[in-house]
Structure formats: C-alpha cells, structure tokens
Amino acid sequence: MAALGRQTGDLVESPRAQVRVLGHDVLALAAFTLFVFTVAAGRLWCGFACPQTVWTLCYVWIERKIEGGRYQRIKLDQAPWSPVKLGKKGFKYLCWAVLALSISITSVGYFTPIAVLLREIAELSVGNRESFAILSLAGASFLFSGVLREQVCLHMCPYARFQSVMFDRDTLIVSYDARRGEPRGGRSRRVDPGARGLGACVDCGLCVRACPTGIDIREGLQYECITCAACVDVCNGVMKTMGYAPDLIRFSSENQDEGVPKPKTHFRLWSYGAVLLAMLGVLTFDLATRVPLGLDIIRDRGRLYRESWDGSVENTYTLRIMNMEQGSRRYAIRAEGEVPLQFSGDREVEIAGGSQVSIPISLMTAPGVQAASNSDVYFTVESVSDPVHTITETSRFLRPAEAGPDSGASAHE
C-alpha cells in the first residue's frame, strides 16, 4: 500500500488517532519545556507568562490609575460611601468589565472568525454557544484576575505545590542576600551603616508591599513566590536612593547564595533537556508523516444485509471522507474483502479544502460464493494526483450464517 503515515498492520491510523497522538506529543512537549525552564530559571511561567499573572497586572494597573497607590486605596476602602467613592469604584468595575469582555471575545475569536463574531455582537445576534463562552470567560477573568488575584496562585493553582519537586540548589530563584542585608534597620542616607553595625536593608517594607502574593522574601524561598521580580525592582530603587550597591534582592541560586561554585554539569537540567529534544523529534516526525485525510465508515444500521433471490448478499455503507488540506483534491475509492465483492457507488469524488462529503456505497457478493458470516472489508481512499495521501479503514461484511461455512457466527452486530 502506497501510504505515507504510521501504520497499524495494513492500516494507516485514523485522523482522530493522528490528532490524538499529536495532542499527546504537544502536551508532553509542553510539560518538559516547563520542567526545563523551571529547573533552569525557576517559576518563569508564573511570573512572566501565566495568563493569570498577566491579566492580574492589567486589572491592577486600571485600579491604580483610578483609585491611586496602595495607601490611597486603603484609605478609600475604609472611607464611608460617598459620591466620589461610588464613582471611583463604579468606574473601576466598568473598566474591569470592558477588559474582561475584550479578553473573552478575543479568546472566542480563536474558534469563531473574529470578524463574524464582532458583527454578530454589534447586531446582538450572537449564537447561544458563543454567548455562553463569552460570558463565562469574562466572568472567570473578572473574578480570578480582578477580584481574587494572588489567592488563585496561593490556593487554587496546583503548579505552586509541585514546583519544589523540580527545583534544586542551582535553580535560579529570587532571593534576598541576608549576608549583605542583615542586620536590617532604618537609618538616614547620611549614616554609615558599617559604623552603626547595620546591613544594607533599611527595613522600609517596600518589597513586601510590592509583592503580589504578599510575602516577605527576606524570610527565604517560599512556595508563594511566583518569581515576578517586583521586589527586585523596588529594592533596587531603594538601594539607588540610599547610594548602596544594587541587587540586595536578586536572581540567584541557593548554592550561589552560599558561595558554592557553580557545577560544570547541571545533571537534572541536561536530563530534562535531552528528553525535551527527543520529544521535539517525535513531534516533528508525527507532523511530517501526518496524512491530511480522514475516513469514517458508517454501516447501514437499519438493515445489516440484503439477500437476493439468487443468493447474492449486499451490505451498504456511508463513507464520510474529510479533506484536511487547504486546497481541493480528487480521491479514488476502492474496497477489498476476504471474498470478491462487487462495488456499487461513486469511484471518485472531488472534495473542497477543509470540508467533508458522505458517499453511499454498497458491496455485494456474487451468487453462490461461500464465505464467513462476518468478515473484514477494507475501504481505501487515495488521492488521484498524489497517491501518498492514502488512508485505509476497516469495517465488517455480514451475511446470513447459514449461507456460509461459518454457520455458528452471528449475522447481527
């Protein structure tokens, strides 16, 4: 069989199986990419790529623009309700709602053409499925990123819980240089900390206030730290104001903090990297050998077989053929059974790109042919212009048990 693709016995894997295999490859690849980046550089995903973090920053930015900085927000929250407070809170929630809707409409636009979706929204004629998806996604974004924020990272996200399994002493983390910072204590810029027996930390508390998960990084590595580096930036600002060297809080590893030299080989990192490369190879192979053609065979459920007066037996099927390419293609159809079968139906079909057609086919044995009551039949669909685009699927050919030597077999599925 001139087939390009992974084969099971004589059969090319079905498109659903191919998509499933590709899905597994992509998931495994994503998992190992996460492992490699986590071992090498800590929770980069959480701090810089996770949609929850990115969207939370957008919601916080809106809040800061409308309600002001941390102290102004606390003051506003504690103040009694007034037209000013009502106006600020109402405007904030309105802006949040617009942001949430824009996020959800963009997301749904990946599955429904965005131009069509926007026109339907403008005409208030959005379908039920899209309406449900838009409203539920917008609600989730508003609730998780706007209202709950870091609570999602702390109490709902499973990744925070198993990150420690991936960390080792050479993993890059955000850490506080306690040897340089302690003993901490307030002082004026003119005071020499050495003369007062103080470290570089002025105990201003800005790193704690800047932290989206509300932790104090000076207490050491904590699972709540999402490596966003907000504390690094704010502390560097303090160091600059005080005229001290930067990087009291910085990216480093536990070994680096303790002055242990960096190992020449980072075994865990190289192991994950090797598996990642292997997964990439497997994904590339699966993509290269994918057959962009699908075939489903549906037997006539109403009648298992039809027997003629001369002893011939007929089975009917519907072939659903999917062209998963961009352009249209012409396909030839053939069927082979364990006994010779007469083919009745279209032998060729033209299918537009990205669409499918259903073709009724019937197969018939010649009169007097002896065969099993239940035997395999193979349908092959092959591109006329490019025979490597071929797919074969199997089905059953049924006949009355008493008509063949295999009289014990049932004619019913």
Positions in the binding site for ligand SF4 (CB under 6 A): 174, 176, 181, 184, 201-207, 210-213, 215, 217-218, 225-231, 234-235, 238, 248-249
Pairing relation of β-strands 355-364 and 342-344?
Answer: antiparallel
With H, G, I as helix, E, B as strand and everything else as coil, classify residue 257. Answer: helix
Residue (3 or 215) nearer to ligand SF4, CB: 215
Tell me whether residue 97 or residue 204 sits nearer to ligand SF4 (CB atom). Answer: 204
Closest CA to 93 of 138, 124, 154: 138
Distance in Å, CB of 210 to ligand SF4, minimum = 6
Length of the chain: 413
User: Of 50 and 117, which CB lies nearer to ligand SF4 in the complex structure?
Assistant: 50
Q: CA dist 221 to 106, 138, 184, 253, 254, Å?
A: 37, 34, 18, 10, 9
One-letter identity of residue 365: T
Least separation in angstroms between residue 69's CB and ligand SF4 is 16
Q: Are strands 348-351 and 329-337 parallel, antiparallel or unpaired?
A: antiparallel
Closer to ligand SF4 by Cβ: residue 152 or 319: 152
Q: How far is the CB of 247 from ligand SF4 (least distance, A)?
A: 10
Instruction: Compute the distance between CA of residue 389 and CA of residue 338 in angstroms, rounded to an integer.
Output: 24
Torsion of CA 146, 147, 151, 156, to 10 degrees: -80
- Residue 301 beta carbon to ligand SF4: minimum distance, rounded to whole angstroms: 59
Tokens linked to 51: 């949609």
- Which residue, 214 or 367, is less far from ligand SF4 as judged by CB? 214
Nearer to ligand SF4, 145 or 227 (CB): 227
Closer by beta carbon to ligand SF4, 210 or else 276: 210
Closer residue to ligand SF4 in complex, CB, 220/311: 220
Q: Which two tokens stand for residue 20?
A: 């499933």
Q: Encode burial over 174-200: b for 16+ CB neighbours within 10 A, e otherwise.
A: bbbbbeebeebeeeeeeeebeeeebbb
Pull the structure tokens for residue 406. 């295999």
Please report how close the Cβ of residue 36 comes to ligand SF4 at its closest, in angstroms. 20
Cβ contact 107:137 at 8 Å: yes
Work out how close the CB of 221 gets to ligand SF4 at its nearest, in angstroms, rounded to a whole number. Answer: 9
Nearest approach, Cβ of 297 to ligand SF4 (angstroms)? 55
**C-beta of 259: minimal distance to ligand SF4 in Å?**
20
Shortest CB 226 distance to ligand SF4, Å = 5
- Give least dist CB 198 to ligand SF4, A: 11
370: left (phi over 0), alpha (psi -120 to 50) or beta: beta
* Cβ-based burial of 19 (10 A; exposed 0-12, middle 13-18, buried ≥19): middle
Q: Answer yes or no: are the C-beta atoms of 235 and 206 closer than 8 Å.
A: yes
Position 355: which residue type? Answer: S
Which has the closest alpha carbon to 275: 92, 71, 39, 57?
Answer: 39
Least Å distance between CB 58 and ligand SF4?
Answer: 17
Q: How far apart are CA 30 and CA 283, in angstroms?
A: 11
Is 76 or 242 the residue whose CB approaches ligand SF4 more closely?
Answer: 242
How far, in Å, CA of 42 to CA of 130, rounded?
37
- Quote helix, strand, coil % in the chain, to nearest 5: 45, 20, 35
Residue whose CB is less far from ligand SF4, 58 or 248: 248
Give 52 or 392: the residue with its C-beta nearer to ligand SF4.
Answer: 52
DSSP SS3 for 285: helix
